[in-house]
Amino acid sequence: MSTAAVADIRPYHHGDLRRALVDAAIRILEREGPSALSLRAVAREAGVSPAAPYHHFKDKGELLEAVAHVGWEALGDGMAAVQGSTPDLTSLMTEIGVAYVRFSQEHPALYRVMYDTARDKDSLPEGMQDKEDGAYCLVRNTFRDAAGPGVPDVDIELATIAAWCAAHGLAEMSGFAQFNPLKEAFGGDAGFLRAVLSHLGMFQAKQVKQD
């Protein structure tokens, strides 16, 4: 079993084609956008025949899920990086939200794949929610720690999803050109993001603690 586990990790002709394909897909995504991400282009980028991916993924969707998984981990890392940057919950949640939106701005194609695959399955991806250190759990734990004991789980969950909705909504809207004037009015993109996130009351600790 232990040798089998090793074989699972480093098993190939090619080296590790599965990983190479995911990397190639992300490279194409960042370079040419989602519309250029065909399975054949990924195989080409990895220097392999068009049929080769089918020995590692059931279909294109399964490859995209693997790509999305990498994206969710990177997003989680980005959000975790600002953890502990301030003791104040309000500004901490704002900074986490800014980190979230920043990621979506820096990797728009990857961000799109992350949600597209999730929507196709009607289910949030593993890398985001299932693991205890996923991005979603990070937000929930932040609320839970701030609330302390005695606050019902339902309220924590509500605060979490409300914050997530706001951040995701802002991530999708902030790219539209129509909001450029408003961005300038708030001193650039960062100021705009903080203004919207601050405007959203759910980042305030009292809402979690009181109600």
Partner DNA sequence: TGTCCGATCTGGACAGTGCTTAGATATAAA
Partner DNA sequence: TTTATATCTAAGCACTGTCCAGATCGGACA
* Candidates 12-20, 73-81, 127-135, 184-192; binding stretch for DNA (CB under 7 A): 12-20
> Which of a second copy, DNA, none sits in contact with 49, Cβ below 5 to 8 A by type?
DNA
> Which of a second copy, DNA, none sits in contact with 6, Cβ below 5 to 8 A by type?
none
33, 50, 152, 191: residue in contact with DNA (rule CB under 7 A): 50
How big is the site for a second copy, counted in residues (CB under 8 A)?
39
Axis crossing angle, helix 89-106 with helix 135-147, rounded to the nearest 10: 170
Q: Taking CB under 7 A as the rule, does residue 14 contact DNA? A: yes
Cα separation, 99 vs 40, whole angstroms: 33
For residues 146 and 198, is the Cβ–Cβ distance under 8 A? no
19, 23, 34, 41: residue in contact with DNA (rule CB under 7 A): 41
DSSP string, 142-199: HHHHHH-TTS-HHHHHHHHHHHHHHHHHHHHHTT-GGGHHHHHHTTSHHHHHHHHHHH
* Candidates 1-9, 14-22, 141-149, 163-171; binding stretch for a second copy (CB under 8 A): 163-171
